[in-house]
Chain A
């Protein structure tokens, strides 16, 4: 291939006949990381995760609204009959603490401390698993009290909302365990700290959704 054609020269930055610099309108081309096509200097992956989380707000918003509209309509068993606030408070606290251990996992890999990373990933997964186990126990005891999925509006809406959240937590645990295995096999080093950070964002989001659910669904029946 011939690289001497004027057509190509016109847009190589080294070509003097290119557009005059005064047309740049004060744009700081350095911030583009010339040649990397990165206009904001931000990671695609992280931006993608934040976009997804913004989108997920609408998902949980719809589920919470549905629950609010339905919980006192219809007949039969209601929130007051089944909720066990002390129990749910403990499992909420467990999920909250898992968020904190996730933060330590992120800062461990940022320091390059693989041992600590694995420790905190494991702790986070276990705390998340405890939360899920609590949810399973809760669902089972509700069911024993006569509250099936199809019993009434409240039960359908409650199980759907908390079930969706539970699925989110479970997906998070799967991701955490995958990271744990990757780290064990030496594929998750300091240069991929961002991967852990992104999984962490997801995990924290799941936690703040539970913050909302805990207050709106459980504490204000």
Chain B
């Protein structure tokens, strides 16, 4: 990973703790708006859940699940960017966090894929007493 020093020119050692840096940050009014938006997204999420009429027999189920995941990612990014200041802070902070996040998503998606989690066969194991993964060629 690269650490750039350019980004620190305006955020000297002193500035790291004093108020000067907070000038770049949103005002309380903006935080209210962000909070309101997050609450609205949550409402939408719950609404989507009830449209989907669990356990997801709705004909648009893939679309609804996709939009739920989209809203989840959106909330994640908004909280990270505004509440956690990642949008305004030094990029190094964002980099170390995103490194862990990307690694986690990549590695665990690979695990789920290796378990053939996305295939119907995995679901087909549901509830069977001797559920052991069925493997090709075995």
Chain A contact residues, CB within 8 Å of chain B: 27-28, 30-31, 33, 36, 38-43, 46-47, 50-51, 53-58, 60-62, 64-65, 68-69, 72-75, 80, 85-86, 89, 92-93, 96-97, 99-100, 102-104, 107, 110-111, 191, 193-194, 197, 200-201, 204-205, 207-208, 211-212, 214-216, 219-221
Contacts and interface: CB of A to CB of B under 8 A. Distances in A.
B10 to A, nearest CB: 9
Interface of B: 3, 5, 8-9, 11-13, 15-17, 19, 22, 25, 28, 31-32, 34-35, 38-39, 42, 45-46, 48-50, 54-56, 65, 68-69, 71-72, 75-76, 79-80, 82-85, 90, 92-93, 96-101, 103-105, 107-108, 111-112, 115, 117, 122-123, 125-127, 129, 131
A194 B17 contact: yes
Given A33-B12, A38-B13, A61-B104, A208 B80 contact: yes
Nearest to B101: A57
A97 B39 contact: yes
A201 B79 CA distance: 10
A100 B127 contact: no
Given A30-B12, A47-B92, A220-B65, 18 more contacts: A31-B8, A33-B12, A39-B5, A40-B8, A53-B97, A60-B104, A61-B104, A69-B112, A72-B122, A74-B127, A100-B32, A100-B83, A107-B25, A201-B84, A211-B75, A211-B79, A212-B76, A215-B68
Interface of B is mostly: helix
B45 A54 contact: no
B61 to A, nearest CB: 10
A92 B43 CA distance: 11
Contact of A104 (B31, B48, B82, B122): B31
B84 to A, nearest CB: 5
Contacts of A39: 5
A41 B101 contact: no
A207 B129 CA distance: 37
Residue with the greatest number of chain A CB neighbours at <10 A, chosen from B9, B25, B35: B35
- Majority secondary structure of chain A interface residues (helix, strand, loop or mixed): helix
Given A72-B123, A207-B79, A220-B68, A41 B11 contact: yes
B69 A41 contact: no
A176 to B, nearest CB: 15
A9 B12 CA distance: 28
A28 to B, nearest CB: 6
A53 B103 CA distance: 13
Contacts of A85: 46, 49-50
Contacts of A207: 79, 83
Contacts of A221: 54-56
B83 A99 contact: yes
B84 A205 contact: yes
Contacts of A211: 72, 75-76, 79
Contacts of A100: 31-32, 34-35, 38, 83
A33 B11 CA distance: 11
